[in-house]
Amino acid sequence: MKIRLHYRAFIYQAILLVAFVLVQLLFFSFIEYRDWRDNHREETLAENLEEVVDVTAMNLLLLPLMLALVWWFSRRIINPVRRIADTAAGIGKGRFDERIDTRSMPDDDMRHLAETLNAAFEHYTSAVHRLRRFSGDASHQIRTPIAAMRATGEVAVSRPRSAEDYRTAIGDMLAELERLSFMVEQLLQLSRLDAGTLRERFRPFLAAEVVRQSAQVYAPLCEDAGITLECQVEPGIEVPGIEALACELLNNLLDNAIRHTPRGGTIRIGVSRADNGIRFYVHDSGEGIPTEFAETIFERFSQIPGSRHGGAGLGLALAADIAAVHGGRLAVANPGCHGARFEWTLPLPAKS
């Protein structure tokens, strides 16, 4: 049987109240009885107990009033719980914008609970919105190469052509397929990072080594693009993690930096100790990241409007996830400035 919480609170308090009245009655009676036995044997017991009867009568008269007060009090205490339950039920039914109204609540534990829950709802709602946007963006991005493949194929078979033309058409379709396949790999990699089972594979690696490797791989590309690549490493720092992933993070940052740095520009990559941790950085001399995009560029499929530099917008999301898997954080260190500086900061366990 379901009992409403405020009924229960009322019943408990009512029982307490009645018990209190009974105990009081017994206690008074006992004292009056002893007094009569020891000092007032000349009077009758009934006369001596008159006061007790009066007090009891008064108590009984007051009892309904007290009970009414208790009723009102229980409702008042329990009301916020009902409001919380109603809001949660609403969110459960898909009304994601509902929040618990805390304005009329006194500043107590219940209000604290409501505010904590509101914050959790907020978090949940934004996660749901992100997920919806993500699947929308993903299908859009997957559609583009599919549309290209389809058009190429349809045009190719629409009339007889030379073998060379067919070969070109199939080659074009394969190139689109490659793009699609690459995107699927990136999405798979993201879900692998989300799974959070990578910590078991952590091994210490040398930070300087990863930076050097990454710089070495991208140096010819920089040279070709007329960009100076400067590499500055502090030797001897060991990081617990997955070396291949750290490399992937830096590669993605370098790839991004090269795409946004004009000919004649400079990209600086490096690693150094920072306050109780370590800091990897990639600093380009491109147009920089506007302040309002400093957070959102790490979201999956995000693009800064008006700056198409190729890529589906998954590289930085991957990099940020890799940073997080290692217990660190990837951020734009200088939003709004010319020349974006990405920093991966990572707390290191103190050397014993």
Partner 1 sequence: MSDASTTARSGILLVEDDPRVSGSLVRGLGEAGYVVSVTATLGEAHAQLDSQTPALVILDLGLPDGDGVQVLRRLRQEGARVPVIILTARDSVVQRVAGLDEGADDYLAKPFSFPELLARVRARLRTARQEAEAFVLQVGDLEIDRLARRVRRGGRGIELTAREFDLLAYLAANAGFPVSRDMLTRDVWHVSSRATSMDKIIDVHMSHLREKLEGGSDRRLIHTLRGIGFMLSETAP
User: Which residues form the interface with partner 1 (CB under 8 A)?
Assistant: 167-168, 170-175, 177-178, 181-182, 185-186, 188-189, 192, 201, 217-218, 220-221, 224, 244-245, 247-248, 251-252, 255, 258, 314, 318
Q: Is 299 helix (H, G, I), strand (E, B) or coil?
A: coil
Task: Return d(Cα 279, Cα 344) in angstroms, integer.
Answer: 6
Smallest distance from partner 1 to CB 309, Å: 12
Residue carrying structure tokens 């993903």: 138
Cβ closest to partner 1, residue 8 vs residue 167: 167
Smallest distance from partner 1 to CB 140, Å: 19
Task: Return d(Cα 341, Cα 268) in angstroms, integer.
Answer: 9
Token pair belonging to 242:
């997955």
Task: Return d(Cα 185, Cα 162) in angstroms, integer.
Answer: 34
Cβ closest to partner 1, residue 143 vs residue 201: 201
Strand partners, 266: 228
Cβ closest to partner 1, residue 115 vs residue 209: 209
Task: Return d(Cα 313, Cα 102) in angstroms, integer.
Answer: 40
Cβ closest to partner 1, residue 4 vs residue 167: 167
For residue 212, what are the CA distances in angstroms to 46, 208, 229, 231, 294?
103, 6, 11, 7, 27
Token pair belonging to 85:
């339950």
Question: 230 φ, ψ to 5°?
Answer: -110, 135
Cβ closest to partner 1, residue 167 vs residue 199: 167
Cβ closest to partner 1, residue 88 vs residue 324: 324
Cβ closest to partner 1, residue 173 vs residue 278: 173
Token pair belonging to 351:
């050397």
Smallest distance from partner 1 to CB 3, Å: 51
Length of the chain: 352
Q: Is 333 helix (H, G, I), strand (E, B) or coil?
A: coil
Task: Return d(Cα 244, Cα 201) in angstroms, integer.
Answer: 11
Q: Is 203 helix (H, G, I), strand (E, B) or coil?
A: strand
Q: Is 329 helix (H, G, I), strand (E, B) or coil?
A: strand
Task: Return d(Cα 23, Cα 27) in angstroms, integer.
Answer: 6
